[in-house]
Amino acid sequence: MASSVFDRETLLDLTVNIIPLGIILFFIVVFAALPGFGYDPFTTTIQMSLLIIPFIGLAVLTYVSGKAIAQAEEELEEQ
């Protein structure tokens, strides 16, 4: 691989995961800045965990799949 982590084609393949990451991040910011249901520690914790846990899981999945795609592309180029 070159100087970046993923090349352009790999990033295009990962766009299917990057767009939902942006959407989830948008809702995390909105719900943190504008609490629509008031601030109750229990409710806010559940609300944020329902956004943050999938965000972290999807981010890890995107990185791992990006590494797998890049490795498969390198193997195809060697052949």
How confident is residue 27, by pLDDT bands cut at 50, 70 and 90?
A: very high
How confident is residue 62, by pLDDT bands cut at 50, 70 and 90?
A: very high
Taking each helix axis from N to C terminus, what angle separates 41-78 and 8-33, rounded to the nearest 10 degrees?
A: 180
Site of tokens 């084609």: 9
Contact predicate 10/70, CB 8 Å:
yes
Residue 72 lies in a domain: yes
pLDDT digits (tens, 9 = 90+) for 35-61: 877 788 998 899 999 999 999 999 999
Tally of domains in the chain: 1
Residue 3 lies in a domain: no
Q: What is the pTM of this model?
A: 0.80
Taking alpha carbons only, the member of 62, 3, 53 closest to residue 24 is 53
pLDDT, average across residues 2-24: 83
Residue 67 lies in a domain: yes
Q: Which domain holds residue 37?
A: 8-78
Residue 38 lies in a domain: yes
Residue 1 lies in a domain: no
Residue type, 11: L
d(CA 65, CA 71): 10
